Amino acid sequence: METPTTAPLQLKPEQVTTYSLVRCLGEGGMGSVYEAVQHGADGFTKRVAIKLIRSWVAERPEFLQNFVGEAKLVAQLVHTNIVQTYQFGRCNGAPFIAMEFIQGTDLLQLMHVHVANEIRVPGPLAVFIASRICRGLAYAHSKVDDLGRPLGIVHRDISPQNIMISRDGDVKITDFGMAKGLDLMLDGEGEVVMGKLRYMSPEQARGDRTDGRSDLFSVGVVLSEMLIGVNIFAAETSAEVQRRLMDPEIPDFDTLSPEMNPTLRGILRRALAKDPDERYQAASDMLVELERFIYSAGYGPTSETLADYVRDYLDSVTTPPATDANLSG
């Protein structure tokens, strides 16, 4: 018997969702991210993050396409280790993305505190953070669309600024603005080098085609920086950083950090291999190696362990002053 077709249910809210911007969380050359409060019917409120792009950026078709593409791409990524996207909207013609608000810090700020105090992120916690990054990447790299087509996602900007850590110990990848995936975004490879130089893979620094293994090289750079306290490709000029990356000489971790566990040094060397074929071939492979290392004794760090550590840091940091603004979406 033929099943009758049913027209999709259309919801027409009586009240338009509005957002009140509370404070700026971060600014870049192309836009800003704000803490905000979402307002709904009957006094409903929810804390969110709002990503706005600058007006001159919105007027350039290629940048606007990527911003819209980012919203569409990340809307498909529902995972505990990726910041969630709630809504794409426009205010006075300018587009914005409403996202999950993370009550916590980014990894860059956390690392700055350690450098300032001449200490390093505890090794087990550093490896745990890297394992959660790999967990999020494993999901993103293998994501398919509704038709079963691989999205081919490569983040291309894995760096401490784009790793959020919540007060509850959750590690989340954010900012897919430089990502590529299917036909949603302009990848620009071969035309322009995109991302943060000090965390790029050699192929990304050269402007060559990238795949998920490029992101794993970046994870290796982030992990090594947490463990030894310095970025292994840092230099006085961007040109010198790029030169070092295009034909990288990976430091001798045996000499640089003799106290580091030999197994961990091996994981770093493999993640940081110049040839992608010599790296981990999938984020899930690197995840297994990292978890095997930290839990080989039958116990190891957890989200709760990281939460306690991060809360101690956050309780010592002054909250930035608030600002007032609002959006309707």
Residues identified as active-site? 157
Using CA atoms, how far residue 225 sits from 77, 130, 233, 257, in Å, is: 27, 11, 10, 12
Close Cβ partners of 222 (under 8 Å, ≥ 6 residues apart): 107, 130, 133, 158, 159, 160, 163, 199
User: Could you tell me if 96 and 42 are in contact, meaning their C-beta atoms sit under 8 angstroms apart?
Assistant: no
Distance CA(306)–CA(167), nearest Å, equals 8
Q: Is 199 helix (H, G, I), strand (E, B) or coil?
A: helix
> In the numeric block, which tokens belong to residue 124?
């087990």
Residues comprising the chain, all counted: 329
State the CB neighbour count (10 A cutoff) for residue 244. 18
Q: Is 272 helix (H, G, I), strand (E, B) or coil?
A: coil
Close Cβ partners of 1 (under 8 Å, ≥ 6 residues apart): none
Distance CA(174)–CA(7), nearest Å, equals 36
Q: Give which of 194, 193, 208, 228 is closest to 276, Cα–Cα.
A: 208
Burial of 301 (0-12, 13-18, 19+ CB in 10 A): buried
Q: Give which of 264, 266, 205 is closest to 240, Cα–Cα.
A: 205
Q: Is 54 helix (H, G, I), strand (E, B) or coil?
A: coil
Distance CA(86)–CA(48), nearest Å, equals 9
User: Could you tell me if 85 and 56 are in contact, meaning their C-beta atoms sit under 8 angstroms apart?
Assistant: no
Distance CA(68)–CA(184), nearest Å, equals 8
What are φ and ψ of residue 203, in 5° steps?
A: -70, -35
